[in-house]
């Protein structure tokens, strides 16, 4: 009996010890990555918030506002004819009908009630034209980003400083993202868990691995669909001026789907007069040459560094895909290897 009692005591102590051990393990705090912190005050957070907003410009021919969009299906009356709108393709039909009207009448009468999607992606029912006009009058200026979409789901890491508790949350759509970002508490530290994917206006997909890459991609592509629609091409002179105005860094370097962006950390690149190319690190300066041209019907950039190191990866001819004052996307020419590079202003 003494032996059994002693054995029972040992088992109880072992169980208690195990419970305490499990409790300590469960309370281990995993904080968000500091370099990937997201808030509405950060550039990355602002971009995500704007991407998540309702994209309302598609039906401007109907409601005249980019702040909201009318939920399909709905019906309008044009010159006495009833037209059911079931998709964005039907807006082209509306334009064709208006163009054919001999009296240039463009009066479009919406058949109420309708459902309207607001910037935060919530949906409200509107019963009359007066209600719709009141809603549009109260609506803030449109600031959504329409040329990029997020591929869901995405996941955030959240650390509550008051409760000293770390959690994660998964976001499934724009509406959830809008509400999540809008409701971040001051006591919460939030970071986005990478990688994530973005879809461009032409359905190309790009992978994003950090806040820096996210910001570079948005700055490069946020107006790309408008530029495509407006045929807003920029000549070589303007490209040269933009290159020479700033110091640049390689924010993303993908070679055959292998991310080599880290190879260029701490390297500042300057496009100087007389086609002089200069790369600076904390310990050295490396000279090179650069040149642009548009002889083949598209803009090209040639870069050549006097280096056997990582900068050698930039020694080639590039096609200019997109650029603005803050960023430039280039792809390698004359190679079977797919190389995509995004450079941003430092």
Of 94-98, 173-177, 301-305, 332-336, the poorest mean pLDDT is in 94-98
Q: What is the pLDDT of residues 57-73, one digit of tens each?
A: 677 778 777 778 898 89
Total tally of structural domains belonging to the chain: 3
Instruction: For residue 210, say if its preceding peptide bond is cis, omega within 30 degrees of 0.
Output: no
- Cross-strand partners of 322: 329
Q: How far apart are CA 316 and CA 312, in angstroms?
A: 9
> Among 180, 201, 232, where does a domain finish?
232
Q: How far apart are CA 86 and CA 88, in angstroms?
A: 7
**pLDDT beyond 70 at 289:** yes
Same-domain check for residues 304 and 193? no
In 3-state terms, what secondary structure has residue 345? Answer: strand
Q: What is the pLDDT of residues 127-138, one digit of tens each?
A: 998 888 888 777
Task: Give the model's pLDDT for residue 31.
Answer: 58
Element (H, E) at 14: helix 2-26
In CATH, what number is assigned to the domain containing residue 248? 2.40.128.270
Contacts of 37 (CB under 8 A, 6+ apart): 189, 190, 191, 211
Strands (E) in 80-150, as ranges, are 81-85, 108-110, 114-117, 123-126, 148-150
> Among 138, 159, 184, where does a domain finish?
138
Task: Give the model's pLDDT for residue 60.
Answer: 73
**pLDDT beyond 70 at 142:** no
Phi-psi region of 321 (alpha: psi -120 to 50; beta: other; left: phi over 0): alpha
Q: Tokens in use for 109?
A: 């009468």
Can you give the residue range of the structural domain that contains 45?
28-53+145-232
> Among 105, 138, 171, where does a domain finish?
138
């Amino acid at each position: 009996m003494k032996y059994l009692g002693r054995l029972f005591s040992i088992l109880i102590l072992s169980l208690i010890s195990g419970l305490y051990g499990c409790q300590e393990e469960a309370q281990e705090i995993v904080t968000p990555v500091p370099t990937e912190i997201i808030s509405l005050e950060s550039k990355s957070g602002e971009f995500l918030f704007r991407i998540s907003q309702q994209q309302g410009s598609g039906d401007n021919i109907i409601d005249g506002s980019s702040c909201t969009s009318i939920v399909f299906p709905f019906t309008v009356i044009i010159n006495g004819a009833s037209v059911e709108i079931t998709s964005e393709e039907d807006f082209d039909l509306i334009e064709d009908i208006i163009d054919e009207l001999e009296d240039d009448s463009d009066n479009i009468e919406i058949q109420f009630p309708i459902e309207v999607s607001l910037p935060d992606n919530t949906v409200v029912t509107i019963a009359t034209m007066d209600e719709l006009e009141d809603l549009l009058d109260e609506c803030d200026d449109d600031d959504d980003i329409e040329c990029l979409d997020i591929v869901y789901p995405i996941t955030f890491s959240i650390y509550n400083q008051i409760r000293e508790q770390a959690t994660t949350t998964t976001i499934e759509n724009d509406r959830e993202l809008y509400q999540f970002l809008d409701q971040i508490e001051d006591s919460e530290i939030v970071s986005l868990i990478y990688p994530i994917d973005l879809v461009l206006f032409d359905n190309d997909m790009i992978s994003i691995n950090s806040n820096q890459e996210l910001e570079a991609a948005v700055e490069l592509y946020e107006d790309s669909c408008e530029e495509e629609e407006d045929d807003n091409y920029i000549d070589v002179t303007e490209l040269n001026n933009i290159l020479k105005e700033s110091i640049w860094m390689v924010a993303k370097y993908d070679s055959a789907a292998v991310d080599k962006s880290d190879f260029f950390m701490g390297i500042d690149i300057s496009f100087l007069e007389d086609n002089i190319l200069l790369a600076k690190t904390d310990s050295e300066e490396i000279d090179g040459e650069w040149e642009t041209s548009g002889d083949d019907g598209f803009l090209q950039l040639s870069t050549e560094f006097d280096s056997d190191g990582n900068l050698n990866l930039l020694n080639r001819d590039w096609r200019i895909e997109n650029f603005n004052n803050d960023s430039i996307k280039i792809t390698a020419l004359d190679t079977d290897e797919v190389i995509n590079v995004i450079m941003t202003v430092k």
